[in-house]
Amino acid sequence: MYEWDFSILWAYRWLFLDGVIMTVSLTVAVVLGGLAVGLVAAMGMLSGSRVLKAGSLAFTELFRCTPILVQLIWCYYALPILTGIELSPITASILALSCYGGSFYSEIIRGGIVSIEDGQREAGLALGMTPALAMRRIVLPQALRRMVPALMNQSILQFKNTSLVSVLAVPDLVYQGQIAAHDSFRPLETYTAVAVAYLAILLPLTLFVRHQDAKFGGAR
């Protein structure tokens, strides 16, 4: 019978804290980056231009249909060779995860926008708004409300996907866990603690989303 001893983890508390900070900061970056990428791709798909449409579609499918782990490694090792621009592991991670998340966000955003009746946009245009203003002030705010649950879900995936950046030696929670495990020879306690840390951060968030969903979803 294995004897659990979580007290050994106390020695690594600062290591874990650094990991949590890195993971949370990365998540903030790749959620914002992913939303920006997704918004641009969604606008491209909805635009009248055939070139923009095809470009956005190609981008979305490329990142949706390849594994994120491959994208991370490719961004770090292959991209600098092709472009001649050195990328730090963190930059490469943010780039890959933003594009990966963006390819999913874009579908959510596009779906949210087309779910708003065309009469809303037309009423805006009829008042003298430019198409861009009608999109920004009339369509997007209403679409966003409908998108919130799906966007939150995707952001939760973004959060968990940051755990893959340890392959590029980015010192996130998982990477720090690996160090602690090697150092202490206590992988069971260490990885249990890592899992609990992810759960402790995410659970309040998902409960909050459920609560909001029940509150606003019922009002419609």
Partner 1 sequence: MNRAMIEIQGLRKSFGTLEVLRNINFSVAQGGVVALIGPSGSGKSTLLRCMNLLVTPDSGRISVGDMEFDFGSRSPRPRTRALAAFRARTGMVFQSFNLFGHLTVLGNVMEAPLRVRRMPAGAARDLAMAQLSKVGLADRADQMPHTLSGGQKQRVAIARALAMEPQVMLFDEATSALDPELVGEVLATMRALATAGMTMVIVTHEIAFAREVADRIVFMRDGLVVEDGPARDVIDNPQQEATRSFLSHFHATPA
Q: Which chain residues interact with partner 1 by CB under 8 A?
A: 117, 119-120, 122-131, 133, 137-138, 141-142, 145
Residue with tokens 């198409």: 131
Closer residue to partner 1 (CB): 136 or 211:
136
Reference 56, options 103, 98, 101, 96; nearest CA is 103
Closer residue to partner 1 (CB): 131 or 204:
131
CA angle 51, 53, 58 (to 5 degrees): 95
Q: Report the nearest approach of partner 1 to the CB of residue 137 (Å).
A: 6
CA angle 69, 210, 30 (to 5 degrees): 30
Reference 169, options 73, 34, 33, 60; nearest CA is 73
Reference 73, options 202, 171, 164, 143; nearest CA is 164
CA atoms within 13 A on the CB side of 150: 16
Closer residue to partner 1 (CB): 124 or 171:
124
Closer residue to partner 1 (CB): 75 or 151:
151
Q: Report the nearest approach of partner 1 to the CB of residue 219 (Å).
A: 10
Between the CA of residue 110 and those of 39, 146, 174, 175, 201, what are the distances in Å?
8, 12, 33, 35, 29
Q: Report the nearest approach of partner 1 to the CB of residue 117 (Å).
A: 8
Q: Report the nearest approach of partner 1 to the CB of residue 3 (Å).
A: 58
Q: Report the nearest approach of partner 1 to the CB of residue 51 (Å).
A: 18
Q: Report the nearest approach of partner 1 to the CB of residue 149 (Å).
A: 17
Closer residue to partner 1 (CB): 28 or 126:
126
| Cα(167)–Cα(93) distance, integer angstroms | 10
| Cα(172)–Cα(158) distance, integer angstroms | 14
Residue with tokens 């402790």: 200
Closer residue to partner 1 (CB): 131 or 217:
131
